């Protein structure tokens, strides 16, 4: 048979197989965060964009010692396939980690995953049919939005303020969606030191939000990579500690140890846990035994709680450097002041567009993440996420000074050519600066 007789699907000049892709691939798009890494990795650029942990704060001998001991004593197991649920010893240790946030559980309900991102993907895969609704804070984690889009979910944002997710807005949105006959599958929330907003859900709101979801038979997906990285007072106990049957809890060692190991986990009600294992096995057969055993050895042989304290001190100093620099160089703007985690959410004057402004910022050798990355509906142009986790305090100060040059330069141009009048600053309250969600 000649090549000319083989039927070809119409494609485009760049991809001849374009018409053959599944419909769900329309939801796949490069995240604005990932697109920034190539630029931000240039040494002359101060990156306030990516949420990269400061792994240099880890004592190298702890990690090397754990690696060497695993290979010396468990090399055969480390290099072999493992269980789809993960290594039993590590799952026992994960229970100890979660107990610090009030969570009780059993080894049987823990599933280790390739980072918590895989757990997020697996849960979405299990529950979402095209068109199903996922409720998420406004703004929300860019990686989660990407996963939800890839499974053709409809993401509906719920307003936040300085105390986290707003219960009244949650009630109203659920009622509106139910009135339209829409199917709501779960609420996705980052209650502690939110990415990107930096705020923490108050203790008073936690049982109220869980009760709203229980009454409406809505599952809660609690994503908590930053919960142990508080600066002074610890965050309230996890949502999962209040409701064991209605919450799937996602955790990770990426922020409290190192992301290179790619070890995360899900704690789920038993029936859901069984399906998670089946979904994980169909995706990767088993998570990396080598990574799990190394993390397990690290937890067994080092004072990992003291190491988390070290991280807290590093990130607190960097957050304080960022807030001080913002107060000095951009005093007319407003921002969140987190009690832990990695991020500050900066509100811009309504006249500015953080996405359009980014090329000029890169030219001034500073990078940030535009607010649009954190909304599924196109909002966020008048905000940006600033990460303080990776740069030194000195570089943070330099980066904010450069950012101020960009912001003030843009405002000067607008004043010169448009005569737009006095500065209009978006409100610090996250729910005020954003319009109501489009629920249709």
Fold agreement between 28-51+307-430 and 60-301: no
The residue ranges of every structural domain in the chain are: 28-51+307-430, 60-301
What are the counts of helices (DSSP H) followed by strands (DSSP E) for the chain?
14, 14
Q: Is the pTM of this model over 0.85?
A: yes
CB atoms within 10 A of CB 423: 13
pLDDT classification of 436: cutoffs 50, 70, 90: very low
Given a cut of 60, is residue 429 above it in pLDDT? Answer: no
Given a cut of 70, is residue 206 above it in pLDDT? Answer: yes
pLDDT classification of 134: cutoffs 50, 70, 90: very high
pLDDT classification of 242: cutoffs 50, 70, 90: very high
pLDDT classification of 305: cutoffs 50, 70, 90: very high
Mean pLDDT to the nearest integer, 264-284 = 94
Q: What secondary structure does DSSP assign to 375-428, as a single string? A: -SSS--TTEEEEE-SSS-HHHHHHHHHHHHHHHHHHHHHHHHHH---S--BPPS
Average pLDDT, the chain: 90
CA distance 267 to 375: 27
Fold topology of 60-301:
3.40.640
Whether domain 28-51+307-430 has CATH 3.30.70.330: the reply is no
pLDDT classification of 17: cutoffs 50, 70, 90: confident
CB atoms within 10 A of CB 255: 24
Helix (H) or strand (E) run with residue 141 in it: none
pLDDT classification of 18: cutoffs 50, 70, 90: confident
pLDDT classification of 3: cutoffs 50, 70, 90: very low
């Amino acid at each position: 048979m000649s090549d000319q007789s083989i039927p070809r699907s119409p494609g485009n000049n760049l991809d001849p197989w374009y018409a053959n892709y599944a419909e769900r691939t329309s939801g796949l798009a490069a995240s604005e965060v990932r697109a920034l890494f190539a630029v931000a990795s240039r040494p002359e650029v101060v990156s306030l964009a990516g949420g990269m942990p400061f792994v240099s704060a880890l004592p190298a001998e702890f990690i090397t010692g754990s690696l060497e001991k695993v290979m010396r004593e468990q090399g055969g197991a480390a290099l072999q396939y493992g269980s789809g649920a993960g290594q039993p010893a590590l799952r026992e240790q994960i229970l100890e980690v979660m107990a610090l946030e009030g969570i009780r559980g059993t080894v049987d309900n823990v599933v280790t995953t390739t980072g918590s991102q895989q757990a997020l993907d697996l849960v979405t895969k299990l529950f979402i049919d095209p068109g199903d609704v996922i409720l998420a804070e406004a703004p929300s984690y860019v990686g989660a939005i990407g996963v939800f889009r890839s499974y053709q979910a409809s993401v509906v944002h719920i307003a936040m303020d300085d105390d986290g997710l707003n219960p009244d807005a949650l009630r109203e949105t659920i009622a509106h969606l139910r009135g339209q006959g829409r199917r709501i599958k779960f609420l996705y929330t980052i209650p502690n030191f939110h990415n990107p907003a930096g705020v923490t859900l108050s203790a008073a709101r936690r049982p109220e939000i869980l009760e709203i979801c229980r009454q409406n038979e809505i599952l809660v997906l609690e994503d908590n990579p930053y919960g142990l990285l508080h600066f002074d007072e610890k965050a309230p106990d996890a949502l999962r500690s209040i409701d064991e049957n209605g919450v799937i809890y996602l955790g990770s060692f990426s922020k409290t140890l190192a992301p290179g190991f790619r070890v995360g986990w899900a704690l789920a009600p038993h029936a859901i846990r069984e399906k998670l294992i089946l979904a994980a096995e169909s995706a990767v057969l088993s998570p990396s035994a080598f990574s799990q055993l190394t993390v397990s050895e690290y937890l067994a042989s080092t004072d990992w709680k003291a190491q988390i304290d070290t991280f807290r001190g590093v990130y607190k100093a960097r957050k304080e450097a960022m807030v001080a620099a913002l107060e000095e160089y951009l005093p007319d703007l407003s921002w969140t002041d987190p009690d832990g985690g990695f991020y500050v959410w900066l509100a811009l004057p309504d006249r500015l567009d953080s996405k359009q402004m980014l090329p000029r910022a890169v030219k001034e050798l500073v990078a940030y993440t535009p607010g649009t990355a954190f909304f599924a509906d196109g909002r966020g142009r008048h905000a940006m996420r600033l990460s303080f986790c990776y740069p030194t305090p000195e570089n943070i100060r330099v980066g904010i000074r450069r950012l101020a040059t960009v912001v003030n330069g843009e405002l000067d141009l607008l004043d010169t050519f448009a005569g737009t009048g006095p500065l209009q600053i978006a409100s610090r309250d996250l729910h005020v600066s954003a319009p109501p969600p489009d629920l249709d």
